[in-house]
Every structure is written in C-alpha cells, then in structure tokens.
Structure 1
Amino acid sequence: MKKTFLTLAAAVFLAAGLPETASAQNSAVTNAILNQRTGLLDKARTDIDKAIVNEKTSGKAKTWYTRGEIYQAMLESPIYSKQLQEGEGVKKAYESYYKTIELDTKTGEFGKQAVVKMEGLYGRAFNDAVNSYNAKDYDKAIAGYKLASQINPKDTTAVLYSAFASEAKQDYAGAKASYNQLLGMNYKSVTLYTRLFQMAKTEKNDAEAAKILKEALAAYPNNKAFMLEDLNMTLAGGNKEDAINKINKSIASDPTNSNLYAVRGSMYDQQKKGDLALADYRKAVELDPNNFDAQFNLAVYNYNRAADAYTKASKMDLKTYQASGKKMEAEGKKYFEASVPYFEKALQLQPNDRNTLSSLQKVYFRLGRTADSERLNAKLQSLK
C-alpha cells in the first residue's frame, strides 16, 4: 500500500505541475484578453507582445488576432493612443490581422474576423499619411500611403498621393514608380501622363518622353496639351510632313488657338508656300493681336517681298529697268509700308527685341523716315 501511495502521490504532483508549465504562455494570451476587456490596454499590450515571441503561442491565429484588436483599441483610445509612436498602432494592427489571415485563412474563425477588422484600418492609415504630408514629413507620408495601399490593394488614391509625396520630396524615381504602378492598375488621368512626360523631359530622356506621349494620346486623343507636345517633338525631329498633319489635327481640335496658326504659317513659309503662310499669319493675328510671333512673321513676310522686288530691280539692265524697274521698286515700297504696322506692333509687345528693332530701322530708312530710323538705331546701340 505504501508503495502504491507514493506512486499515486508522485503522479498527482506531476499532473499538478504539467498544466502550470504548458498553460503559462497560453495564460499570457488569456490575460491580454482579460486586460483588454477591462480597459487595461497597456497591460494587455505587454502580455500580448510576450505571447507573439513565444514559440508555443506565436504560431496561433488567436494570438495574432488578439494583438491586432489590442493595438487597434489603443489606437482608438484618447488615453492609450498617446503611448504609441506615430503610425505604430495602424502598422502593428495591420501586421497582426495579416498574420492572422496567413495562419487561419480568410474563412477561419479568426481569419474572417481579421479581414473585416483590417478593412477598417484603411481610413486611419490614409489620414495619418495626409497629416504627415501636411506637416511636410514626406518620408512618413509615403510610408503611410504605402501602408494604406497594402491594406486595400485595389485602391488607387493612396498610390496617387504617394506619388505626390515623392515629388514633394523630389524623389522622382519613387514618383515614377508610383505612377507606373497606377498604370498597371489600369488607372489613367491627364495629370498622371503629364507628370510622367515632364519628368522624362527633365531627365532629357526623349525616347521615354515619346513613349509616354504616345500612350497619353492613345488614352486622350483630343487633349490639346498632348497634341501640342507631340507637335513640338515632331518639329524638333525635322519631320515636316508629319508635323503638318499633326498641326492640322491640333487646329481642328482647337480652332481658336492663335499660336497653332502662327506655327503652321511658319512651316508653310519654310516650304515656300507664301499664300498659305500669309493666310495663317493673318488668322493668328485676328485671333490674338498680341501674338508677337504672328505679328513679327507678318512683318517679315512683307519685308521679304519688298526686298525681293528691290533686288530684282537692282539686277535689271538699263533697258529693262527703264521699262519696269520703277514699277518694281514701287511694288517693293508698297510691301515695306505694309510691314511697318506689324513691326511696330511686334516692337510694342517686345520693346527690346533686336531683330524687330533692326528690321524696322531698315524699313524706316528705305521709306525715307530718317528720324525714326536714327531713333531705332540709337536704341540698338544702347542695347549692346
């Protein structure tokens, strides 16, 4: 009997000791839950932080779900939120719910609850990022927007704002990455393409700029700004025929744009299509009398016609000159006179433009307006 008693006593002792060891860590989770329910969130936090690093409880969905609830409760508490670093509550709650789903799946007892809880963190993460941005703490803002994007991967707003924050920080590589992420999410906007294009131009990456512009025009074929940029790149490339086609399309889209007519007129001028050039210059001035380029080009058009007439007269032999030279010079004078109001308007718009001053000075001289010619010559000398 004695031997049996001792054996039983030992068994009772061991049985009493085993639950103490095995449940020690489980009790940390239980204590965390109890402290959370009684509002002692600081103690709940201490308990749950111990539980997630212990090998017996760190692999359990309940542990991580409880941790998420505790940090979220602290985040929403006017008292305990002060014990958290900026952004810490959202980050740790999200990590906890994410780990819960990873361990339990979205259909498990804790996993399905974690899905709902995690969705509620998006607004908090986004607002924290906005506050950081407004405080010009762009690194925290970017981190906050990226966290919001992780919480709701289908949302484009956080990604877009992350791009804005990267640009504010002058991190153009980061901004481009966010903009391209948006394109991958099938998000398109004029602003997105405009910023990508401008960054490519700033980097002098013409190939990249051309690629972006092509995509932008595919998405927004009638956007005036994109059409003009495309035209400018075509003009810079020297493809005149293609440029004419593009500028015609631009004018069709924006028929009251004075600059478009001025540019097309200049292109026609280069192609020796004088009548078409003259019509475009006149249309440009009609639409905007303060268009310097159009006024100057109209003046130059008449100036060149006058110069051609005088040059022809100067090359005539005596007999030919006697027959038609004076008439040719009179025609030249008429064109010089026609150039004056356009040169004068151009000079009014840009008083120190040397080309305008020099050309008008010569016209005044040819027309016998000596005082005006000397006045402009003096101004030219003063600009040297």
Structure 2
Amino acid sequence: MKKLFFVSALSLFSVAAFSQDAANKLVVDGFRKDKEKSDKDASDPKSSAKAAFWMDRAKLYENIASQASEVDSSAAKTAYEAYKKVVELDKTKKGEPGKSAKEAENVLNGGEGTNLFNAFVRQGAEKYQAKNLNGALEMFTLAQEINKKDTLASLYGGIAAQQLDKKEEAKTSFEKYAANGGKDPSVYYGLSQLYRGENNFDKAIETLNRGLTQSPNNKDLKAEVVNILLASGKEDQAIKELEALATSDPKNTQNLVNLAILYDNMQRTANDSIKVLKGKMGAGGSATDVIAKNLESEKGKIEVYDGEVKRIGGLIKKQPKNADLKRQLTDVNTKKKESQEAIVKLQADLTAAQNASKGNDVAGMEKQMATLKAKQADASAKAIANYKKVLDVDAANYDALFNLGVYYFNEAVILKGEVDNMNMTEYQQRGKEIEGRVCGKFKKAKPYFEKAIQAKDEAEAKETLTTVNGVLEQFAAKQVACVEEQ
C-alpha cells in the first residue's frame, strides 16, 4: 500500500537562511524592535481601541512572516488576527465597513495583490521542515481559509494531517484539493486509502475514479480500484477491471499475475463448494446405511445374549450354588439391557436420517453441482492461461512460476484423496491407474518450483520442492509409473 509523503514537494518552499551581513541584520533587528513596540501597544487600552493600530500591526507581522520568520515563526497567524480586529473596529456611522476594514477584508479573502496567503504557506512549510507538524497543519488550515479555491495549502495541510494520523482533517483537506481541481494522483490514492480504512469502499472507489478523470492513464489508481473491489467482496467486478487492464497493457505482468490469481482463487472456492455439496448429496444415504447397519448389529447381539441367558440359566438349575455362573448371568443381562437401549436410540436416529434424506432436493443439488463444476473448469483454464501469458512476457516471473507449481501440486493432492478413500476392492480395480496420474501431477509441478527458486531464493518454494521430491521418491520406490496429462 502506498503512503503519501511530499517532503520533496514541501522543500520547494524552503527559504534560504538570511545571509548574516550587516544590512540583513539591521532589517531583522528593525523587525524585532517594531514587534516589541507593537506587542507592548497591543496591551494599551488607547492604542488597542484604534483600527489604525491593528492595521499597522497586521502589516508588520505579515512582513515578518514573509521576510524574517526567525523573528516570529507564527507571525502570519498574528497578522491574520490583527486584520480581523481591523474589520471589527473600523465601522462607519451607519455601521458599515470603513476603508481600512474593506482593505483588511480583501486581505483575509486572498484578494489580488495580497500576500497573507503566501505568508501562511511559507511559515507552514518552515514548520513542516522543522518537524512541527501540528504547527504546519495550523498554518495550512488558516491559509485555506484565506484562499478557498487554492490547491497548494489544501495539499500540504492534508499531508501534515495524515502524518499526524488526524484522518478527518486529512480527508477535509484532500477533499478541498480535489474539489478545486487538484491533479496529483497521489492525493487521490491517499484519500482513497483513508476511506478504505473506514471500510467505506464505495467512497474509496469514487475517489479513485475522480483521480482517473484527472490522470486517465495512471496505473496505480487503476490497480487500486481492483484491490478495493476485491477487499469489498466484488470479485466479478474486479476481474472485469483487470481484464480491461490486461487488454490495454498486455506487457504489464503484474496485471496478468493478479488476474491469474483471481481465477485461481475462484477455481479453489468452487472446488471447496463442490466438496461441501458432495457431502450433502451423500449424507442422507450414507448416514442411513451406517445407522441401519449398526441397528442390525445390535439386534444380532440381543439374539446372542438371549442364547447365553438360556444356556447359563440351565447350568444354574444344575448348580444353584455356583456364584460364578450367577455373576456371568448378571453380566449378560446387563449387556443385553445396554443393547436394548442402543436399539431404541438407533431406531430414532434412523428415522431422523431417513427424514433428512427425503428433504434433500436431489435435482436441485445436481444442477448446482453441474454449475459449480463448469465454473471451476472455466476458472482453472483461465488461471493457467494467464500464468502462462506472464511467462511469455517474463519467463523468470517468480509469482507465476510458484503459483503454477502450487496449482499442479494441489491437483495432485486432490486426486490422491480419491486413492486414500478407496477400499481394497476399489484400489485393486483402479488405484494404480489413479496413483500414476497423481505422480504425473507432482512431476508436472516440480520444474515450476525449480525455476521459481532460480528466479528468487524463497523458502516457500524450496520447502515445497523438497516435499514434491520426497513424494516422487515414494512413488519410485512403489514402482508407480508417472502419467503426465496435458
């Protein structure tokens, strides 16, 4: 995920330190003396009651902000407050703004030829470079009040707010930047991340699309649209966006890899759904068969116990004082009682399983199964095709190589599951043939992992290759011939 940092941009506003020659020192000293006098007069009731005093103070501090920030790093703010004081005090007899008030209002509104806005931006940049982010944010925010159509202060205000993790202030500044026609794609990207962090995916995508209006060919903005569509669960729409990107820029391997991964994930999800559906389709019949078999077994035990009771009872008649025979009879009766209780429970379970089986919509599930299989096959084909497109452009692309290896590895594991679930009869009939295909898929996966390791020495590829080699050695020991399918 990209982050917004515009340190280099802000450095454009860095101001070279005053050279310490005699003339400049006199200027700075003059500003200091004038500042001290103005500060003293500001607390004088007579001076502070006059609009003219506040106008002089406003202009003084504006000049300090523009020419000698070392005298007061927040001079622009003091000038801003002084201009507001002029507006407050300079009224005609009719209560309307006087000449000085109109002049002050023009400055506060960023009128043509005024410099207070620039003074704020300058001092904001200085504070930013001094890592006083809160001070910088205050200056940039006040600058936006002066010039509401500006993009400069809103850009830098958003940056400072974002670095302070003041998300609402950052959004407000960046939104102003966008509303005023700002073009920097990084701002739209950063603003979209703020909305994404709130799970406001629609607003995030809307912001990216506004950025694309300004920068139609920006690849980062286009790619992030796809990322957010995926994060919001809109996989089908994300695929459409990526298909368009892949068509317009067929040499962009990252788009192709992302598209292949999407199809790969889609086929895996479909395969998982197929497993679940198979379980549902077989659950009713298989559960009923198991319960019925167990029920018959318990009934068979009752017959055995009845026979034992009869046999031991006959012996006791002949040996009425034999304690061991009496113990045996007690044990048999106890076991018979347990079987009778088990029969009652199994009969109830059998009824429930039969009812559940009747409730299955077999036709509906078969239709769903056909749809899932078609989706899985289509997604598989598109995943492989796009991985191979990547390798046509970049034969050493690690992601495509590793993911193709994983694809064939997983196919082998799924197929091996069929062998593992076979009984002896089934294995004798077709077990060897399927094992050959399993071996073939592991063998097909192997070169992709080997090439992936050559491209990038990653532990995941090396560990998986070790597993594949071990499996192939086991097949060789069993003299299983690997059958590679196209």
TM-score by length of 2: 0.53
SS at 2:73's partner residue? Answer: coil
Which of residues 65, 74, 87 in structure 2 aligns to 1:87? 74
The separation in 2 between residues aligned to 1:293 and 1:40, in whole angstroms, is 68
Instruction: Report the residue type matching 1:227 in the other structure.
Output: K
User: Which string of whole-angstrom CA distances, capped at 9 and with x for unpartnered residues, describes residues 69-88 of structure 1?
Assistant: 4444666787xx87x54313
Which of residues 191, 195, 205 in structure 2 aligns to 1:196? 191
- Consecutive unaligned residues of structure 1, counting only runs of 5 or more, are 1-38, 371-384
Tell me which residue corresponds to 2:482: none
Deviation of 1:143 (Å)? 2.0
Tell me which residue corresponds to 1:346: 452
The separation in 1 between residues aligned to 2:233 and 2:39, in whole angstroms, is 71
Decide whether aligned partners of structure 1 residues 108 and 285 sit closer, same or farther in structure 2, where only a CA change above 3 A counts.
same
1:251 aligns with 2:246: yes
* Structure-to-structure mapping, 1:228-243, within 5 angstroms: 228-243=223-238
Which of residues 25, 38, 43 in structure 2 aligns to 1:45? 38
User: Which string of whole-angstrom CA distances, capped at 9 and with x for unpartnered residues, describes residues 117-153 of structure 1?
Assistant: 6622232222122111111112221222223333333
CA RMSD of aligned residues (A): 4.3
Deviation of 1:248 (Å)? 0.8
SS at 1:136's partner residue? Answer: coil
- Consecutive unaligned residues of structure 2, counting only runs of 5 or more, are 1-31, 109-113, 268-375, 480-486
Decide whether aligned partners of structure 1 residues 360 and 228 sit closer, same or farther in structure 2, where only a CA change above 3 A counts.
farther
User: Which string of whole-angstrom CA distances, capped at 9 and with x for unpartnered residues, describes residues 239-269 of structure 1?
Assistant: 4433332221231243223243334334445
Instruction: Report the residue type matching 2:100 in the other structure.
Output: F
1:137 aligns with 2:132: yes
SS at 1:110's partner residue? Answer: helix
Deviation of 1:216 (Å)? 1.2
Instruction: Report the residue type matching 1:362 in the other structure.
Output: V
* Structure-to-structure mapping, 1:26-41, within 5 angstroms: 41=34
* Structure-to-structure mapping, 1:11-22, within 5 angstroms: none
User: Which string of whole-angstrom CA distances, capped at 9 and with x for unpartnered residues, describes residues 278-331 of structure 1?
Assistant: 22121122333343332133224444666788889998979986xxx87x8776
Decide whether aligned partners of structure 1 residues 216 and 112 sit closer, same or farther in structure 2, where only a CA change above 3 A counts.
same
Instruction: Report the residue type matching 2:169 in the other structure.
Output: G
Aligned 8 A contact 1:310 1:332 in 2 = yes
Instruction: Report the residue type matching 2:171 in the other structure.
Output: K
Identity %: 26
1:280 aligns with 2:386: yes
Decide whether aligned partners of structure 1 residues 355 and 112 sit closer, same or farther in structure 2, where only a CA change above 3 A counts.
same
The separation in 2 between residues aligned to 1:116 and 1:218, in whole angstroms, is 33
The separation in 2 between residues aligned to 1:92 and 1:303, in whole angstroms, is 70
Aligned 8 A contact 2:65 2:72 in 1 = no
Instruction: Report the residue type matching 1:272 in the other structure.
Output: A
Number of positions where the alignment pairs a residue of Structure 1 with one of Structure 2: 319
The separation in 2 between residues aligned to 1:48 and 1:311, in whole angstroms, is 91
Which of residues 461, 468, 484 in structure 2 aligns to 1:359? 468
Decide whether aligned partners of structure 1 residues 369 and 169 sit closer, same or farther in structure 2, where only a CA change above 3 A counts.
farther
TM-score by length of 1: 0.65
* Structure-to-structure mapping, 1:1-384, within 5 angstroms: 41=34, 45=38, 49=42, 53-54=45-46, 58=49, 61-72=51-62, 85-88=72-75, 90-101=76-87, 103=90, 109-111=99-101, 113-114=103-104, 119-187=114-182, 189-201=184-196, 203=197, 205-206=198-199, 208-220=200-212, 222-269=217-264, 270=267, 271-273=376-378, 274-303=380-409, 335-348=441-454, 349-353=456-460, 354-367=463-476
Tell me which residue corresponds to 2:367: none
SS at 1:359's partner residue? Answer: helix
Decide whether aligned partners of structure 1 residues 230 and 146 sit closer, same or farther in structure 2, where only a CA change above 3 A counts.
closer
Tell me which residue corresponds to 2:279: none
The separation in 2 between residues aligned to 1:272 and 1:176, in whole angstroms, is 44
The separation in 2 between residues aligned to 1:77 and 1:234, in whole angstroms, is 50
Aligned 8 A contact 1:281 1:294 in 2 = yes
